[in-house]
Amino acid sequence: MKLGYSIIYVTDVLATVAFYEQAFGLRRRFIHESNLYAEMDTGDTLLAFAGEPMAEMNGLAIRPNRNTELAAGFEIALITDDPRSAYATAVAAGASAIKPPTEKPWGQVVGYVRDLNGCLVEICSPMGG
Amino acid sequence: MPLPYDYVEVLHTKRDRFATEAAWQFFTDQACEHRVLPDGRCDIILRFRSNRTEPLGVITPLVTGAATRFHIVPIAAGTGYIGIRLRPGAAGKVLGIDLRAIVNRGLTGDAAILKIPALKNLCAPVSSIDTLRSRLNTFIDDHTRDLTIDELTAALMDTLHITGGRLPVADMAVLHCVDVRTVHRRIVAATGLTPKQMAMVIQFHRALRLRFDERLDIASTAFEAGYSDQAHMSRIFRSMGGISPARTPDLVLAGLPI
């Protein structure tokens, strides 16, 4: 097996796609006409968003992600050559500032924000970059 | 789960029709019984003797309230039904009554007309079942013309479904930035049931689907549905459905839409 998708259940798929475009510079790859599913253009491993009603349709029960709640225990890590600038752009676009980028002992620059749904997003430089 | 033969249901999305979740009909040539599972919804039903194309004789209105336990409904041979399942948040407006008054019960015939006089117009003689269906749709439209969607109530109902009925009411309140009493008031007004009762109905239905549609074993079903153990789930299956998780139930009307 290999990792194919990370799918986050969200209240508003279109708003989330627009947010990820503005805040993180990602591009949309596909939006289903129902507006209940979308994929971002993130290479081989896709970041996708599904409307919360899809959880029940899929036979699942979930705890919804909300920016008013404690963040769920996972994060999306986005790699960029300039994490500090990307962090500022994200916060200016409405991401919640959590931890500005700082250099780790192993040389990687890592910062954290929360997206419009309250999900943790790590903004980091490439390992060894 | 097995649905009765000749039972037909068309689901409505919120975009199709906000006030209703489904239109359904059922005809039977033989006397039978239906096990109707609780779904937390109210239905308007028209019952009549029928040759499958036209209603014959008297048309009887029935209004069923949200339920927390199953009901066995005996049905005479040659009976037809058409029904509309009302969406929580619209049911009170359409029926014009406090939904708490009809929890776990139904209003039939004159009792229904006494409470909801407009139902009488639905029961005038009619030449075809299609015309009767149109009349029922018009009734819904007429009673929802000024309906405004209460966004908070809709969001609370969605959360109950998304979480499989597993989120405590206090957590729901935090999630929607309102107090527990507001959650309680909105769900009771929309369904007649308390949030806890509604959550239990949704949890039960999810367990039913996991067990009988997905064929999960009993232990896995109890764990995923959020029951404390298998015995807990068995008690709920018995009290809400009159069934055992160990055996696929006979024909049932599950009712809860997705």
Q: Please indicate if any CB of chain A lies within 8 Å of the CB of B159.
A: yes
Q: What is the pLDDT of residue B156?
A: 96
Whose tokens are 């994200």? That residue is: A90
Q: What is the pLDDT of residue B177?
A: 94
Bridge-partner residues for B79, per DSSP? B28, B49
List strands edge to edge, sheet with A46-51: A5-10, A46-51, A37-40, A28-31
Decide if A64 and B175 are in contact by the 8 Å CB cutoff. Answer: yes
pLDDT tens per residue, range B12-36:
877 777 889 999 998 888 888 888 8
Residue B256, pLDDT > 60, answer no
From chain A, the residues in CB contact with B214 under 8 A are: 59
- The CATH H-level (homologous superfamily) assignment of domain A5-124 is 2,3-Dihydroxybiphenyl 1,2-Dioxygenase, domain 1 (3.10.180.10)
Q: What is the pLDDT of residue B247?
A: 87
From chain A, the residues in CB contact with B162 under 8 A are: 9, 52-53, 55-56, 61-62, 64
CA atoms within 13 A on the CB side of B147: 23
Structure tokens at A91: 């916060």
Indicate the residue type of A15: A
Contact B105, B66 (CB under 8 A): no
Q: Please indicate if any CB of chain A lies within 8 Å of the CB of B201.
A: no
Instruction: List, in order, residues 6 or more apart from B150 with CB less than 8 Å away.
Output: B89, B186, B190
Q: For chain B, give the secondary structure using H, E and C.
A: CCCCCCEEEEECCCCCCCCEEEEEEEEECCCEEEEECCCCCEEEEEEEEECCCCEEEEEEEEEECCCCCCEEEEECCCEEEEEEEECCCCHHHHHCCCHHHHCCCEEECHHHHHHCHHHHHHHCCCCCHHHHHHHHHHHHHHHCCCCCCCHHHHHHHHHHHHCCCCCCHHHHHHHCCCCHHHHHHHHHHHHCCCHHHHHHHHHHHHHHHHHHHCCCCHHHHHHHHCCCCHHHHHHHHHHHHCCCCCCCCCCEECCCCC
Q: Which of B163, B210, B258 sits opposite A63 (nearest CB)?
A: B163
From CA B238, how far away is CA B253, in angstroms rounded? 16
Name the residue among B95, B108, B121 with its Cα closest to residue B42: B95
pLDDT tens per residue, range B173-229:
999 999 999 999 999 999 999 999 999 999 999 999 999 988 899 999 999 999 999
Decide if A61 and B177 are in contact by the 8 Å CB cutoff. Answer: no
Q: What is the pLDDT of residue B12?
A: 83
What is the CATH architecture assignment of B151-245? Answer: Orthogonal Bundle (1.10)
| pTM of the model as a whole | 0.87
Q: What is the pLDDT of residue B149?
A: 79
Q: What is the pLDDT of residue B255?
A: 54
Q: What is the pLDDT of residue B249?
A: 77
* pLDDT classification of B254: cutoffs 50, 70, 90: low
Q: What is the pLDDT of residue B199?
A: 97
Q: What is the pLDDT of residue B35?
A: 86
Decide if A56 and B164 are in contact by the 8 Å CB cutoff. Answer: yes
Give the A-side interface with B, CB within 8 Å. Answer: 9, 52-53, 55-57, 59-64, 66, 68-69
Q: At what angle do helices A13-24 and A83-92 cross, to 10 degrees?
A: 140
Whose tokens are 């405590």? That residue is: B168
Mean pLDDT of chain A: 95
Q: Can you give the residue ranges of every domain in chain A?
A: 5-124
Residue B258, pLDDT > 50, answer no
Give pairs for B167-173: CB < 8 Å, separation 24+. B167/A63, B167/B199, B169/B195, B169/B196, B169/B199
Name the residue among A123, A125, A118 with its Cα closest to residue A63: A118
A15 CA: distance to closest CA in chain B (Å): 17
Which residue of chain A has the CA closest to B166? A61
Name the residue among B138, B139, B157 with its Cα closest to residue B87: B157
Decide if B162 and A62 are in contact by the 8 Å CB cutoff. Answer: yes
Q: Please indicate if any CB of chain A lies within 8 Å of the CB of B258.
A: yes
Residue A129, pLDDT > 70, answer no
Mean pLDDT of chain B: 90
